[in-house]
Structure 1
Amino acid sequence: MDSEVDRYTASTPRSAELQAEAERYLPGGSSRGTAYFAPYPFFVERADGHHVVDVDGNRYLDFMLNATTYVLGHSNDRVVEAVREQAANGLSYSTPHESQVRLAQALCERVPSVEKVRFTNSGTEGTLNAIRAARAYTGRHKIAKIEGGYHGNHEYVSVSVYAPLDALDPEEPTSVAEWPGQPPSVVEDVITLHYNDIESTERILRENAAELSCVIIEPVLSNFGYLPADGEYLARLRELTTELGLIFIFDEVQSFRLSQGGAQEQMGVIPDMTTFGKVIGGGMPVGAWGGRADLMDLFDPTDGPVVSHAGTFNANPMTMVAGLATLDQLTPEVYERMNALGDILRAKLRAVFDELDVAVQVTGIGSLFGIHFTEERIVDHRSVLRADRAMQQKLFTGYSMRAS
């Protein structure tokens, strides 16, 4: 590892300088927790297609694509042209623009659960407002989420996201605060569930149904290496939430890249509400939530609203036109090709690790994948935690060091 680090520092001196300067003004040198890695991150100068180039001229094949955002690659010609044309006509306004109607129409026509939709500026805001709607509609305050599941950075989903094994009950899903000083009431109001465990999930939901407003879940759980939920588990969750009067929310901020209708179309399980981000903004800041008309009408300002929602840059035309230019290019044939490439990549990764006799679980679906150094089958948060994280870091570091 030392030699790899030496190779990296020798080839990225300007990034080292920028990191040192950044740390004078920004805690840790950035405004994004995932942007840092030791000894320091490389600073990007430009991007094109599926590559990024750093300030020292090193070129990297970009598997992250800004956390799955750039489904068409960086600097897609049609997206760039749409943004350039809109910029000449104004970046944002205090009144609506037709582009928000067209992007909303595209989502309503593509996604099975979405009758109406509303835009904001991040996936975090999308899940926050979907949960707010569920609480207002049911009159109940508690929510249920998957232990280890990530739904953004607001208070009520920041429970048991990165909880270590020693903080968890050996048998039961455990609600754990993410940082010191988090109000105890937040932890008390968030019920956690074991992913893919039908028996315990049903028991916990029935025990708490009188106080629960909703269940929120990623149908393809990003924190678990894009592990898709078991079909039987999702179908039973749909049945249970309907029976118990709970709002069922799919967080498709990342999984929406699987098909025109997202994971719900592919898996055949339709939630009450869906949250979006990343892909639907074409690289511009974006978030959204949509679903049944009766739920979305809680935000209708023409007769209320029951729940208010404002934001200076919500549905700004720069984001809307970038999103439209992206979705217009995502035909069924494009999704089929991307998903086939994902299948090939996962198969080749497994073959390489088998040849090296290294115990690895390669997870994922469609164009999404994850790597876990363990002999144990990955099924939930705890099986992910038991994998060798140090080995995973070495793989990442080695790739970054050799990328140039």
Structure 2
Amino acid sequence: MTHWPDPTSRSKQLYDRGLKVLPGGITRTMPWQDPFPVYAARGEGAYVIDVDGTRRLDLLNNFASLAHGHAHPAVVEAVRRQVGNGTAFTLPTEQEVALAETICARAESFEQIRFCNSGSEAVMSAIKAARALTGRPKIVKAEGVYHGSYDYAEVSLDSNPSNWGNDPNSIGYSKGVPKGVTDDVVVVPFNNVEAAERIIRANASQVAAVLMDPAPSYLGFLPMSKDYIAMIECVTREIGAVFILDEVITFRAHSGGAQTLFGINPDMTTLAKIIGGGFPVGAVVGRRELMKVYDHRAGKPALPWSGTFTANPVTMTAGKVTLDLLDDSATDRMNRMNVRIINELNVAFKQSGFPGQVTGFASMFMIFGHTRPVIDYRSAYATTEEANRIKALQRALTDEGFHLASTGKGILSTPMTDADIDHFIAAVSGITKGGLRT
């Protein structure tokens, strides 16, 4: 049997085929790794099996969208039943109402919900809603924080020492971003209360929304501080801006999301990932008064928002089963396993002298190739040498039977066992103890 990255492997054959019909041979860039990606064949609980038959512990779970790992029997059975009754209708369905009721019961700020098809769409819709509600053009976001693939949300995602300035600059992510886009995005440092408040207030009359992630993945899932949360809530209320909390990833932290854990009081929240149970989904949820922006009953709404596959019954069914199974007990268990990973690997790194650290929040972690304290995007930012150190670790873990992001990110699932975590900790400890060739 061949294994990745053997040039005779099935993954290599599929990659060669893909090169003829897909730019760069793939559709998503995040799963890429040199010299070609591993291709999945199927998933079983906490494990993913590639096309060459290699079984790996899946520590990514489709970037946090699979709370219960792969092919959970209850989700599979419910989806099979629904597919037999139809996959998409022009008409609304009971499944849409049922999932909406389930989600709206989970957090105090969740009064009404509007579904869409991805986290990127959810953020886009929330930004447009804030502009419609306030009549203002600008949004505020934190430097280096990911909010999906929307020009405004991507600003300053990958700024670097050559362009980030003393106060964060508004830097377009992809080539060709119009100046009008960057002009309408105000960038603030994460968790720096004084600087962020000063910058927001300087733009107060034009700010439609402040968009924040309670524990940004690019910053190693660093939580918002209590003082930063209080400042954002206070300033947005005072200047009449909408406080949008991006819980696309962090909603898995608790039955009511990170906002319930941290006591955050947003006006609107964006959701996706786990609420679709492994199918494409997104949503904006918020206070009833603000959600009127989508209401069509008096004529054209302030924000018309629809989509061909929005709230399709397959996604709605999978999402409800997933959330019903994801109670506080299941979430707490994943969170405890994550604490073990963080604590035990940090001890192992100190003992071996490996120049790295692990940070994280809830059931999510990130391995850094440096040891400086992570307090914001700039302290988290990896040099080429540091990034290559983690890529080398990820490659070695791929060989050892673990699926981890090349950036060092990992997200747990409920089927994982203590033995799975033991094996992962032992593998990382052994690889880093022996040194890494980058």
Give me the TM-score of the superposition, normalised by structure 1.
Answer: 0.96
Report how far residue 402 of structure 1 moved: 2.1
Q: Which of residues 260, 283, 289 in structure 2 aligns to 1:265?
A: 260
Which SS does the other structure have where 2:89 is aligned?
coil
Does residue 245 (structure 1) correspond to residue 243 (structure 2)? The answer is no
Mapped partners of 1:285, 1:342: distance in 2: 26
Does residue 327 (structure 1) correspond to residue 313 (structure 2)? The answer is no
Report the counterpart of residue 391 of structure 2 in structure 1.
393
2:151 and 2:173 in contact (8 A); partners too: no
Q: Cα–Cα, structure 1 residues 12 and 361, in superposed 2: closer, same or farther, change >3 Å?
A: farther
1:12 and 1:56 in contact (8 A); partners too: no
Mapped partners of 1:192, 1:12: distance in 2: 47
Mapped partners of 2:75, 2:143: distance in 1: 37
Report how far residue 306 of structure 1 moved: 1.4
Report how far residue 8 of structure 1 moved: 3.9
Does residue 77 (structure 1) correspond to residue 68 (structure 2)? The answer is no
Mapped partners of 1:7, 1:283: distance in 2: 27
1:59 and 1:403 in contact (8 A); partners too: yes
Does residue 356 (structure 1) correspond to residue 324 (structure 2)? The answer is no
Mapped partners of 1:165, 1:325: distance in 2: 45
Paired residue type of 1:231: K
2:4 and 2:11 in contact (8 A); partners too: no
Which SS does the other structure have where 2:274 is aligned?
helix
Q: Which of residues 93, 100, 104 in structure 2 aligns to 1:108?
A: 104
2:4 and 2:38 in contact (8 A); partners too: no
Which SS does the other structure have where 2:59 is aligned?
coil
Mapped partners of 1:338, 1:216: distance in 2: 27
Mapped partners of 1:54, 1:25: distance in 2: 21
Q: Which of residues 142, 153, 162 in structure 2 aligns to 1:166?
A: 162
Which SS does the other structure have where 2:269 is aligned?
strand
2:349 and 2:357 in contact (8 A); partners too: no
Report the counterpart of residue 136 of structure 2 in structure 1.
140
Mapped partners of 1:366, 1:90: distance in 2: 36
Mapped partners of 1:174, 1:272: distance in 2: 26
Mapped partners of 1:375, 1:151: distance in 2: 26
What are the superposed Cα offsets for residues 113-145 of structure 1, whole Å, 9 maximum, x if unpaired?
Answer: 111001010000000011111101111010000
Alignment of 1:225-240 (within 5 A): 225-240=220-235
Alignment of 1:61-76 (within 5 A): 61-76=57-72
Mapped partners of 1:377, 1:302: distance in 2: 52
Report the counterpart of residue 298 of structure 1 in structure 2.
293
What are the superposed Cα offsets for residues 137-169 of structure 1, whole Å, 9 maximum, x if unpaired?
Answer: 111010000110111101211211112221211
Which segments of 5 or more consecutive residues in structure 1 lack a partner in the other structure? 1-5
Mapped partners of 2:203, 2:131: distance in 1: 15
Give me the TM-score of the superposition, normalised by structure 2.
Answer: 0.89
Which SS does the other structure have where 1:353 is aligned?
helix
Mapped partners of 1:294, 1:368: distance in 2: 33
Does residue 96 (structure 1) correspond to residue 92 (structure 2)? The answer is yes
Report how far residue 181 of structure 1 moved: 1.3
Report the counterpart of residue 3 of structure 1 in structure 2.
none
Q: Cα–Cα, structure 1 residues 68 and 365, in superposed 2: closer, same or farther, change >3 Å?
A: same
Which SS does the other structure have where 1:302 is aligned?
coil
Which SS does the other structure have where 1:47 is aligned?
strand
Mapped partners of 1:270, 1:349: distance in 2: 34
Which SS does the other structure have where 2:41 is aligned?
strand
Alignment of 1:281-292 (within 5 A): 281-292=276-287
Does residue 212 (structure 1) correspond to residue 210 (structure 2)? The answer is no
Report the counterpart of residue 346 of structure 1 in structure 2.
342
Report the counterpart of residue 156 of structure 1 in structure 2.
152
What are the superposed Cα offsets for residues 90-130 of structure 1, whole Å, 9 maximum, x if unpaired?
Answer: 00100000011111111111022111001010000000011
Q: Which of residues 30, 39, 42 in structure 2 aligns to 1:34?
A: 30
Report how far residue 7 of structure 1 moved: 7.5
Mapped partners of 1:9, 1:329: distance in 2: 37
* Percent identity (aligned): 39
Mapped partners of 1:8, 1:80: distance in 2: 29
Mapped partners of 2:222, 2:211: distance in 1: 16
Paired residue type of 2:312: N
Mapped partners of 2:201, 2:380: distance in 1: 27
Report how far residue 338 of structure 1 moved: 1.2
Report how far residue 11 of structure 1 moved: 8.2
Mapped partners of 1:12, 1:43: distance in 2: 14
Q: Which of residues 199, 208, 217 in structure 1 aligns to 2:194?
A: 199
2:355 and 2:371 in contact (8 A); partners too: yes
Does residue 307 (structure 1) correspond to residue 307 (structure 2)? The answer is no
Mapped partners of 1:220, 1:380: distance in 2: 11
Which SS does the other structure have where 1:220 is aligned?
coil
2:3 and 2:54 in contact (8 A); partners too: no
Paired residue type of 2:202: E
Q: Cα–Cα, structure 1 residues 332 and 11, in superposed 2: closer, same or farther, change >3 Å?
A: farther
Report how far residue 12 of structure 1 moved: 6.7
1:214 and 1:246 in contact (8 A); partners too: yes
What are the superposed Cα offsets for residues 68-109 of structure 1, whole Å, 9 maximum, x if unpaired?
Answer: 111111111111011000000000100000011111111111
Mapped partners of 1:11, 1:265: distance in 2: 49
Paired residue type of 2:32: Y
Mapped partners of 1:102, 1:392: distance in 2: 42
More moved, 251-260 vs 176-185: 176-185
Which SS does the other structure have where 1:148 is aligned?
coil
1:140 and 1:212 in contact (8 A); partners too: yes
Q: CA RMSD in A?
A: 1.4
Mapped partners of 2:306, 2:101: distance in 1: 21
Paired residue type of 1:309: W
Report how far residue 245 of structure 1 moved: 1.1
Which SS does the other structure have where 1:284 is aligned?
coil
